[in-house]
Structure 1
Amino acid sequence: MIHPTAIIEPGAQIGADCEIHAGAIIKRHVILGDRVTVHPYAVIGGDPQALAFDPAVESFVRIGAGTRIREHVTVNRSLHAGVATVVGENCFIMAAAHVAHDAVLGDNIVLANNVLLAGHVEVGTNAFLGGAAVFHQFTRIGEGVMVSGNSSITRDLAPYTLVAERDEVIGLNVVGLKRRGHPREAIRELKEAFHAVYFTPGNIREVAASALASGEYKTAEAHRFLQFFEGGKRSFARLKRNENLAGAEE
């Protein structure tokens, strides 16, 4: 379904059973998977917001199957020739959110209203980013992370964590882990790995590497959590320390 007032430029690729609503703009650099919905006045595939960008560069935006894009969302194409900004499958991008150039989003991600992702941000599968949260360029948001609304994120967020305010880790996203059916053993190991990383003095990368090398952790979830600290260009969000820590962790 394509509304008569939608603008789809020649060269755009539209999958089967997509819905393009009134006033939506799909630029020629866009590839939409099947069953993608684009609501009124969203702009998909616009040029990057970078002063040095050459509009002649052939770069792209890829939107995965089943993703819903609400009103006034903007998704910019990559800075680099032949490269795509990527939004995965079955994501829900709420009104007025912005996905900047070269961001890469996994599957089943929710961006609430007015979330702002800067360039090169990576967001893992099943993450939930609360309304009006903002993310610095090159930050990595791990799998299953939940970020509070109005947060300001300038550091990498380890998988399965709860994060609020300015780069403050407040615990594990245990409710999310249970809802997605992660086994009890995996949740137990994640709690132990979380405690080892955030409560052991020293360089956080080295602490995580030591925990991983110990052989104590067998589940894939614990391995993903610890391996996250091996990469990235930025520092890591740290644990919020206060009198309510025990309750927050639990």
Structure 2
Amino acid sequence: MATVIHPTAIVEPGAQLGADCEIMAYAVVTKHCVLGDRVAVHPFAVIGGDPQYLKFDRASATGVTVGAGTVLREHVTINRSIYPGKATAIGENCFFMSGSHAAHDCEVGNHVVLANAALLAGHVGVGDHTFFGGGAAVHQFCRIGESVMVAGHASITRDVPHFTMVAERDDVIGFNAVGLRRRGFARAAIAELKTAFHEVYFTPGNIRDVAAARRAAGAFDSAEAKRFLDFFAGGKRGFARARRAEAEAGE
């Protein structure tokens, strides 16, 4: 179908919409937005609004990009970047449920789901195929890895590695084996990831150093396990920690 804009929606001059988009009643798409093909913006969503940042200069040329096939449900808000020439970036085929929010300068991957009222603060990075339960909230500058399952009402203030499950306040409760099987990961890769998860989280010592040592030793062959270990080389906020009994039960 051709792009459809409801008569009550506001699409500001300068906004760029791809093919077959739908902008529904009372939605707002500001001039700062670039939407890919087949993006659906539901009633009362506001995309490309000013960042909630006290020092922001509203004259700054900043933006929001939304990838093809993404659905933004009622009352979703996505704020534009605070940096001239930069954009808050939402990937392809994401699903933001009602009332969810991505603040300025978030970088969200593809196939990411935010359930109702999930909140991403500024500068949060999210990997592909990650799911946020309703009411989950993420502190600014945190990194949430690929294929992470974030429980409803979780409070995330530290980085969460790829392929894990996290709940409550920064508690890693297991390895996301079910999610990886659903994505079609090979059994051998899942087995290596499970071993890497145990070695990093349950070996005494600094978690960053443990991961670096296992990577340097060439302990794992799969690209997925290497990617898991490499996650610990970055970030500035520290890492969500596992409670052993829960993490083992959560596999």
TM over 0.5: yes
Q: Return the match for 2:216 from 213, 230, 237.
A: 213
Amino acid at match of 1:54: D
Give, in whole Å, the separation in 2 of the partners of 1:23 and 1:91: 21
Q: Return the match for 1:64 from 64, 67, 79.
A: 67
Superposed CA deviations along residues 44-66 of structure 1, whole A, max 9, x for unmatched, are 00000000100000000000000
**3-state secondary structure, aligned to 2:197:** helix
The 5-angstrom pairing of residues 218-237 of structure 1 reads 218-237=221-240
| Aligned residues: CA RMSD | 0.8
Q: Which residue of 2 aligns with 1:246?
A: 248
In 1, are the aligned partners of 2:202 and 2:244 still within 8 Å (CA)? Answer: no
Per the normalisation by structure 1, the TM-score is 0.98
Structure 2: gaps of 5 or more residues: none
The 5-angstrom pairing of residues 119-158 of structure 1 reads 119-158=122-161
Give, in whole Å, the separation in 2 of the partners of 1:73 and 1:135: 16
Q: Which residue of 2 aligns with 1:177?
A: 180
Q: CA deviation at 1:247?
A: 2.2
Amino acid at match of 2:137: V
Quick check: 1:73 aligned with 2:68?
no
Give, in whole Å, the separation in 2 of the partners of 1:5 and 1:179: 40
Q: Which residue of 2 aligns with 1:94?
A: 97
Over 3 Å counting, the alpha-carbon distance change for 1:176 and 1:245 in structure 2 is closer
Structure 1: gaps of 5 or more residues: none
Give, in whole Å, the separation in 2 of the partners of 1:125 and 1:172: 16
- Number of aligned residue pairs: 248
Q: Which residue of 2 aligns with 1:160?
A: 163
Q: CA deviation at 1:245?
A: 4.7
Q: CA deviation at 1:246?
A: 3.2
Q: Return the match for 1:24 from 10, 24, 27.
A: 27
Superposed CA deviations along residues 2-48 of structure 1, whole A, max 9, x for unmatched, are 10000011100010000000000000000000000000000000000
In 1, are the aligned partners of 2:100 and 2:119 still within 8 Å (CA)? Answer: yes
Quick check: 1:194 aligned with 2:197?
yes
Taking only the aligned residue pairs, the percentage that are identical comes to: 62
Give, in whole Å, the separation in 2 of the partners of 1:43 and 1:223: 39
In 1, are the aligned partners of 2:91 and 2:109 still within 8 Å (CA)? Answer: yes
**3-state secondary structure, aligned to 2:178:** helix
**3-state secondary structure, aligned to 1:132:** coil
**3-state secondary structure, aligned to 1:206:** helix
Per the normalisation by structure 2, the TM-score is 0.97
In 1, are the aligned partners of 2:193 and 2:224 still within 8 Å (CA)? Answer: yes
**3-state secondary structure, aligned to 2:34:** strand
Give, in whole Å, the separation in 1 of the partners of 2:153 and 2:185: 28
Amino acid at match of 1:246: E
In 1, are the aligned partners of 2:147 and 2:162 still within 8 Å (CA)? Answer: yes
Give, in whole Å, the separation in 2 of the partners of 1:74 and 1:223: 35
Give, in whole Å, the separation in 2 of the partners of 1:127 and 1:89: 13
Q: CA deviation at 1:214?
A: 1.2
Q: CA deviation at 1:187?
A: 0.4
Amino acid at match of 2:145: G
